């Protein structure tokens, strides 16, 4: 069960990482849309799992690999944004959230 502090830090990280990807790194990902759907953080606040959904792209694997390649830069930009709220910036682990793809697939199956 997630503590209140973990929940607040997760929401903060979700908001800030989403803004970093959409605003500060827009040129890296072309016209693709990347959404941070959820962030979970460990009890010691040193590891964060960032779930991302990818839209408007032909090859999602290439785009996701590009996001993972830029993890260090995203973490550096995050540190600059949250330096007054957290003592240490957690390590980031990006995970592809394919929930919406799965829902679309189920919807197509139900239409048949």
What domain range includes position 21? 4-111
CATH number reported for the structural domain that contains residue 12 in this entry: 3.30.300.20
pTM of structure: 0.86
Comparing CA positions, the residue from 13, 35, 1, 21 lying closest to residue 73 is 21
What average pLDDT does the segment 17-36 reach?
Answer: 86
What pLDDT was estimated at residue 58?
A: 83
Distance (Å, whole) CA 5 – CA 8:
5
* pLDDT tens digits along 29-50: 878 889 999 999 999 999 999 9
Residue 2 banded pLDDT, cuts 50, 70, 90: confident
Burial class, 67, CB count within 10 angstroms (exposed 0-12 / middle 13-18 / buried 19+): buried
How big is the chain, counted in residues?
A: 112
- Please tell me the total count of domains within the chain: 1
* pLDDT tens digits along 67-85: 999 999 999 999 999 999 9
DSSP 31: T
Q: Which residue has the tokens 């069960």?
A: 1
């Amino acid at each position: 069960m997630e503590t209140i502090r973990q929940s607040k830090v997760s929401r903060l990280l979700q908001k800030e990482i989403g803004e970093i990807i959409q605003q500060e790194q827009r040129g890296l990902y072309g016209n693709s849309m990347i959404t941070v759907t959820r962030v979970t953080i460990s009890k010691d606040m040193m590891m964060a799992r960032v779930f991302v959904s990818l839209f408007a792209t032909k090859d999602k694997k290439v785009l996701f690999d590009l996001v993972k390649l830029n993890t260090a830069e995203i973490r550096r930009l995050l540190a600059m944004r949250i330096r007054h709220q957290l003592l240490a910036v957690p390590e980031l682990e990006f995970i592809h959230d394919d929930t919406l793809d799965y829902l679309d697939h189920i919807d197509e199956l139900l239409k048949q």
